[in-house]
Amino acid sequence: MTTFTFPKNFLWGTATAAHQVEGNNINTESWVLEHLPETVYAEPSGDACDHYHRYPEDIALLASLGFNAYRFSLDWARIEPEEGEFSYAELEHYRRMLATCHENGIQPVVTFHHFTTPRWLMPYGGWVDEGTPDRFARYCEKAVNHLGDLIGVACTVNEPNIPVLLSKILPFKMQDTPFWQNAAQAFGVSPERLGLFQFAGTPEARNVILAAHKKALNVIKAGPGDFPVGLTMALVDVQAAEGGEEKAAEYQYEMNDIFLEQLEGDDFIGVQTYSRMLVGPDGIIHPGDDIEKNQMGEEYYPEALGGTIRHAAKVTGLPVIVTENGFSSEDDTRRLEYFQRALRSVTETLQEGIDVRGYFAWSAFDNFEWVAGYTPKFGIVAVDRATQKRTPKPSAYWLGKMAKENRYQY
């Protein structure tokens, strides 16, 4: 048997995002989108996991399982429900959440923007508008001034590259759907000015989002507290199939490196990986029917994580935190094996000398998986949506034990 001991102070956690777990985030643009006629959302987010009210028990549960960290996001739309109007009650709510983490021996990792945006930002054009970086930085400044002394690690924006990745893997363009037209109308903008974060994939939108990140980084660093600040990236492990080397390099650049190369001044890179992408000379080779997949249609390929950690570390030169990694399935034995194999690949990268500082499973709870609604199950803790009862799955106990022992025996 081999025993691998993780570095001292390695962060072991799970991750969530406000809109996916809190419930009733009614001031977000997503809430509007979920309720549009001809919406692409399978169902509305509703009460989600009622984490907004149940966070004390939830954080205590995660601590009792063995974790020493928890990544969650602030809902900008709660904190600034109308432009320039900040809610101190909501800031206090997040302050209590942070304090609860500390009381439970949990290091809080706070994401300032995880996909959702206040609805008031949309008439400006959202993430395609040049004024958005300043608006985002203003909110970050308010939030950090109120919360900074309790923050352990901060992520500015979650997955600025997600629109580029989605544009490669979706079989249709969201911009061509009736939903897009309805959404533009609902926010009073032309379809070209509909800057939804998850679909804002133009070079202009990329510049807006990266400028927002930079400004946020500066205001967060200038605020109270002294903690690492960075962003997180949706990184698929891009692999070339025979003859696909050139195309794979092109995809790697467009989806990932063009972002990764612009992170000077960041303290770490957040790696978020679920699977790989095989690229042939004509583009993506989608996994066939005989290949096991998660509920999102992605190949079961836990070793992708080793590949993306190596790539992100090489391109950025920054320490790595695995801020999301997981597998959606009704079958927890498949998730458990996924974690086992993914973590084996983390141990390999550490042995190679890469500075990996933490691992966060996606997700703590079965939650609102965006347009797919509540069907995909990513949680290590099941949530009965009628009663809100939480039930940890075997994968939660396995990961928690690993966290507690800080070592891997295989």
Show which residues are catalytic: 159
Candidate ranges 49-57, 157-165, 258-266, 345-353; the one touching ligand BGC (CB under 6 A): 157-165
Q: How far is the CB of 369 from ligand BGC (least distance, A)?
A: 5
Q: Which of 17, 101, 238, 342 binds ligand BGC (CB under 6 A)?
A: 17
Least distance (Å) between residue 207 CB and ligand BGC:
21
**What beta strand segments (E) does 365-406 contain?**
381-383, 390-392
Q: How far is residue 379's CA from residue 339's CA, in Å, rounded to a whole number? A: 12
User: Cα dist. 82→64, 85, 119, 120 in Å?
Assistant: 38, 5, 8, 6
Give the closest residue to 366 by CA, choosing from 341, 353, 383: 383
Q: For ligand BGC, which is the closer residue by CB, 257 or 298? A: 298
Instruction: Considering only the stretches 156-164, 210-218, 305-313, 337-345, report the one whose residues sit in contact with ligand BGC under the rule CB under 6 A.
Output: 156-164
What residues between 21 and 60 interact with ligand BGC by CB under 6 A? Answer: none
Whole-number minimum distance, CB 384 to ligand BGC, in Å? 20
Looking at residue 41, its amino acid is Y
Shortest Å distance, C-beta 16 to ligand BGC: 8
Q: Which of 408, 382, 326, 342 is nearest to 14 (CA)?
A: 326
* Site track 222-261 with ligand BGC (rule: CB under 6 A), x = hit: ------------x---------------------------
CB 211 within 8 A of CB 259: no
> Do residues 368 and 308 touch, judged by C-beta distance below 8 A?
no
Shortest approach of ligand BGC to residue 326 CB, angstroms? 7
Residue whose CB is less far from ligand BGC, 240 or 296: 296
Query: H or E stretch including 101?
Result: helix 88-103
Of 163 and 307, nearer to ligand BGC (C-beta) is 163
DSSP letters for 153-204: EEEEEE-TTHHHHHHHH-SS-GGGSHHHHHHHHHHTS-GGG---GGG--SHH
Alpha helices in 236-354 (DSSP H): 245-252, 258-260, 304-316, 332-351
> Any contact of residue 324 with ligand BGC (CB under 6 A)?
yes
Kindly state the smallest distance separating residue 212's Cβ from ligand BGC, in Å: 17
Binding segment (CB under 6 A) for ligand BGC, from list 38-46, 91-99, 158-166, 385-393: 158-166
Q: Which stretch binds ligand BGC (CB under 6 A): 127-135, 155-163, 210-218, 387-395?
A: 155-163
Is the Cβ of residue 79 or residue 234 nearer to ligand BGC in the bound state? 234
Determine, following the binding rule CB under 6 A, whether residue 332 of this chain makes contact with ligand BGC.
Answer: no
List binders of ligand BGC among 115-154 (CB under 6 A).
none
* Residues near ligand BGC (CB under 6 A), total: 12
Which H or E run includes 111?
A: strand 107-113
By beta-carbon proximity to ligand BGC, the closer residue of 257 and 366 is 366
Q: Which is nearer to ligand BGC, 99 or 170 (CB)?
A: 170
For residue 12, give Cα distances in angstroms to 106, 186, 356, 358.
9, 41, 12, 6
Considering the complex, state which of residue 104 and residue 167 has its C-beta at the smaller distance from ligand BGC: 167
> In the complex, what is the shortest distance from the CB of residue 164 to ligand BGC, in angstroms, rounded to a whole number?
12
271/319 Cα distance (integer angstroms) = 10
| Minimum separation from the CB atom of position 352 to ligand BGC (A) | 26
- Judged by CB under 6 A, the chain residues 357 through 376 that form the site for ligand BGC are 362, 369
**Cβ pair 140, 216 in contact under 8 A:** yes
Task: By CB under 6 A, name the one of 25, 30, 68, 158 that touches ligand BGC.
Answer: 158
Q: Is 159 in the site for ligand BGC (CB under 6 A)?
A: yes
- What are the b/e assignments for 155-165, b being 16+ CB within 10 Å? bbbbbbbbbbb
C-alpha–C-alpha distance, residues 177 and 182, integer Å: 9
**Interacting residues of 302 by C-beta distance below 8 A, sequence separation 6+:** 327, 337, 338, 339, 340, 341, 342, 345
Binding site for ligand BGC (CB under 6 A): 17, 20, 158-159, 162, 234, 272, 296, 324, 362, 369, 378
